[in-house]
Structure 1
Amino acid sequence: MRPGFERLMVGRLLAGRYEVLEPIGRGGMSLVFRGLDTTLGREVAVKIVSLAQSPDQVLPNLRERFRREAASAARIQHPNVVGIFDYGTDPELELDFIIMELLTGRDLKEELRRNPVLPQPEALRILMDAARGIAAGHRAGIIHRDVKPANIFLAGEDEIEAVRILDFGIAKPLGDDPEHALTTIGHLPHSPAYASPEQIAGTTQLTATSDVYQLGLIGYELLAGQRPYNEHERTRVRAGEDVPLPRTPAWTSVSPALADVVQTALRLNPDERHPDAAAFIEALAAAQSDDGTAYHPGSAPLAASAAEDAPVLAAETDSTALASAAAGVPVIAPSVAPPPVVHPVDELEPAGVPPSRPQRRFAVPGTPVMWIVPLLLLLAVAVWASRRGGSDAPAVAAVAPDSGQL
């Protein structure tokens, strides 16, 4: 988009509802603004996609694809995927936009610029949760196609509270009907440094293994402290050459099991990789379990539970969708929770009946003070008996009053 466009957009109202407040980000084909949903009164992220600059003959097809893919991405509801609220085209400005959840934090690209070598537990947490978000898309039948550090958002101020995948809005539904394929759009979006070999080769029929390859690139960068390939090495990869991964000091500290998972994700042949992101997560979990470096979700605020791993697909409630959502990624080495307290049936209060008062329990003191009262009582009896002239003291008995005396 042209320089100065951001200033022109500030203060505009898109589709009569979304006020553009200030620019907060820029991508190769989009601008992101902080905005306000004037209907609901909440702040949102407004992403304006540069479709209107395309040639007139392809613009209708571009917009059809944009709307179809935005609708598919909006159906993914998962704690590791940024939420998409709305999308459309402003009729007056002819600008295409996506309305998303507004996040606070930084992306992984910025984090790695500040801290190229992260502690291994932190790196694994980020990689696992990023893969969870990608797996949610795969279960919903969508591949991302542009998995890179700039599209992995670390939400939170001081601590990483959550890892969120961005830009599912340019993702591609799996198994597109060839009769409805939009073949005039041109090249598929990707970033050269994080493109899979099949993307570099210009293959249009990508599968989930392309995302797995990109997760492998990010996994190596997180664990090794640098990108796996430079431009020259990417050229060799493009030519079909199997280029070994550099052995950085950080990479040499990675266990053989973890290294094998990443190397499998980076196989040149897509059929030799993990078939999808869920399989990649399972392999990472097994490797961490084997070497004792398991990622414990309960130990970090960014972790998602097993129930959260299953995506909720909006507007789908049939049995197939529910079964797909229930087949979530297993939680990796969870901390063991104490067993629940089970109350016998006869201890439970019936519904609608006020709870009875708890039975009072008296504690028996463990000091000599408890004997003072009986001794004083015996002393009084002895004095009374002596005054009666030395008669035998009567037996002292504790008698409970009968009901008539109450």
Structure 2
Amino acid sequence: MSSTRRDPLVGDVVDGRYQVLARVARGGMSTVYRALDLRLDREVALKVMHEHLAEDPALVHRFEREAKTAARLSHPHVVAVLDQGHTVGPEGDVIAYLVMEFVPGRTLRAVLREQAPLSPARALRLLRPVLDGLAAAHRAGLVHRDVKPENVLVRDDGRVTVADFGLARAATGHTSAGQAVLGTPAYLAPEHILGEPSDARADVYAVGIMAFEMLTGRQPYTADTALQVAYRHVNERVPVPSTLTPGLPERIDDLVLWCTEPDPADRPADATVLLEAVDRLLAELGPVTNGADGANREDEAPTTVLPPVALTAALPTTRGAHAAVGPETGHETQPKTEPEPETEQAPAPSQRQARRAARRPALTLGAGRLRAFAIGLAVTLLLTGAALLLGWGLGSGGLTRAAAPPEGGAAAAPVLSDLRGAPAPR
């Protein structure tokens, strides 16, 4: 549990109703507290926006509007939003808050720290309620935009719920206008990082990254800074999970690669489409025996505000080759008028090979041929330069008279020395 030391809000009563008992987690946008609703005598989770965000009236207005939308979403796998508002603190600062049901348990992050990598069946069974909750939100026109293990809660009784609807979307809309990107870089979709419009498919991408982490025990992209992680999301493709966890079924690999396509048009349209694919895979894998229950909630990994990023590198142009092919049938993911056959057809080898070849880190399709061409050209220049030097030296009576090479020799010598890694002759 997070320390409550030096937190001035602990012990105070917010808006005359919510007595702050303890701090639970702190992120990049807000701090979550365990509080007591004095009016209804029940424990709640109180999420308070950071002061620098709450000072913007436009952001507070959008936050309140999105919170009202999230409050209308009633689903067993979504943490219920109970109240929202803003008030003035004892020091004159604005306190914008969101009240949610308090979930006894722990985060998916805590589960992964202890148990990752998970078996395919266990991972899918943890993801299924997440997708069920996201599907309900997507049908209501609500996009989470900050799906990550810290926002997935595993209750003490084993139920899984998604938290933090409302705040993420409000803050994202605000920071997009300010030329910044708000979110957790490890799970951000490329279009979100580039400041392009994002929709339910951005949530699908984040679920794919979570699935990769659950299956391999690590995130696909790591770097020293959040900016470097974001850059890799735009310019690289998620590796095949089985390269890190040998023995994973190909269908599991294909599911992760499908979710994490860099072009949103190539991913499942929303969580409902992905949920159907997961259900089919679960039917094949059978029941899982491991439990998912936990004990205490862990601190929230911070949601990060990235500075303006000039990520001008284009997304891989080969992504359209397998744009509409899902991992579960090898057919287009558009609705069908005829029922699917009982025996599902696997994706064509060429489609699967193209998708997997595109997942070699920092190497797009065709890069190998270009590199071979460059090496061949360099060798040709090397041999040509050597022939010119040798011919000039013999024609001048020996190599000892090569102090003033003719035209062409001076240009060839640096090429020769550069390729060998030695300094060019003077």
Shorter-chain TM band = 0.5 to 0.7
C-alpha distance after superposition, 1:6-38 (max 9, x if no partner): 531122111111111111111112111111111
Structure 2 CA distance for partners of 1:229 and 1:7, relative to 1, 3 Å: closer
Question: Which of 1 and 2 has higher RCO (CA within 8 Å, sep 6+)?
Answer: 2
SS at match of 2:242: coil
The answer to whether the aligner puts 1:261 opposite 2:260 as a matched pair is: no
Q: TM-score, normalised by structure 2?
A: 0.61
C-alpha distance after superposition, 1:321-373 (max 9, x if no partner): xxxxxxxxxxxxxxxxxxxxxxxxxxxxxxxxxxxxxxxxxxxxxxxxxxxxx
C-alpha distance after superposition, 1:213-263 (max 9, x if no partner): 000111111122222223377634423x4453353453x332222221221
Alignment gaps of 5+ in structure 1: 303-406
CA distance in 2 between partners of 1:37 and 1:238 (Å): 44
The one-letter code matched in structure 1 to 2:152 is I
1:191 maps to which of 172, 184, 190: 184
Q: Which residue is 2:239 aligned to?
A: 244
The answer to whether the aligner puts 1:53 opposite 2:35 as a matched pair is: no
Q: Which residue is 1:81 aligned to?
A: 78
CA distance in 2 between partners of 1:301 and 1:224 (Å): 18
Q: TM-score, normalised by structure 1?
A: 0.63
Deviation of the 1:143 alpha carbon: 0.6
Alignment gaps of 5+ in structure 2: 294-426
1:210 maps to which of 182, 202, 209: 202
SS at match of 2:44: strand
Confirm or deny: 8 A CA contact 2:241 2:248 kept in the other structure: no
In the alignment of these two chains, the number of paired residues is 282
CA distance in 2 between partners of 1:153 and 1:4 (Å): 21
Structure 2 CA distance for partners of 1:12 and 1:24, relative to 1, 3 Å: same
Query: Runs ≥4 in structure 1, deviation > 6 angstroms?
Result: 299-302
CA distance in 2 between partners of 1:10 and 1:233 (Å): 34
Confirm or deny: 8 A CA contact 2:121 2:282 kept in the other structure: no
CA distance in 2 between partners of 1:200 and 1:39 (Å): 42
CA distance in 1 between partners of 2:8 and 2:232 (Å): 44
The one-letter code matched in structure 2 to 1:254 is L
CA distance in 2 between partners of 1:243 and 1:136 (Å): 27
Deviation of the 1:70 alpha carbon: 0.9
Identity %: 35
Alignment of 1:310-349 (within 5 A): none
CA distance in 1 between partners of 2:179 and 2:229 (Å): 26
RMSD value, Cα: 2.8
Structure 2 CA distance for partners of 1:61 and 1:258, relative to 1, 3 Å: same
